[in-house]
Structure 1
Amino acid sequence: MTEKSRAKELVGYSFLVVFANDDTIDEKELAMIERLALEDGVVDDKEKEILRRLFDRLDHYTVARKVVEEINSFRKQHDI
């Protein structure tokens, strides 16, 4: 993990905020996750691994359509 990697923060945020309160993700939570991952301008390999696991864990039937579309776009854009 590089010095600039926000992988630990992504793990902490996803489990403390995303999954602890309702086991799903909303627009604000996704925006924060994207900001953390892109803080240094690059989504590094460790961040990609964490994001992949996070996004794969979501039940897309309980996530708003707009959020699912943004997740899919973010994944494609950053090869996640």
Structure 2
Amino acid sequence: MEKHSNAKEIVNYSFLVVFANDDTIDEGELHMLERLALEDGVVDEEEKKALRGIFSRVDRDRLSDSVRTEIDEFCAKYDI
């Protein structure tokens, strides 16, 4: 069975939702990104690259403390 990466879906979601309205990530948007990345239980290299790009574009000072913490924990857990 061939593995399917959701990297394209992650990038598309980020442009259609995350960056379309306010250039930051709220809790609901972060949870959707996490769900897409973990749909098959593994965050593959393409998904990691997509998430790194998204997270690097966000002004961390504009994130809520809880979202900033959750991003840091998610990145640490999945080596992003």
In 2, distance between residues paired with 1:11 and 1:57?
12
CA RMSD of aligned residues (A): 0.9
Equivalent positions of 1:1-80 (< 5 A) are 3-80=3-80
Q: List, as ranges, runs of 4+ consecutive aligned residues in structure 1 with deviation greater than 4 Å.
A: none
In 2, distance between residues paired with 1:65 and 1:56?
17
Provide the secondary structure at the position in 1 that maps to 2:17. Answer: helix
In 1, distance between residues paired with 2:63 and 2:19?
12
TM-score, with normalisation over the residues of structure 1?
0.95
What is the number of residues matched between the two proteins?
79
Q: Deviations over 1:40-71 (max 9, x none)?
A: 00000000000001111110111101000000
TM-score, with normalisation over the residues of structure 2?
0.95
Provide the secondary structure at the position in 2 that maps to 1:42. Answer: coil
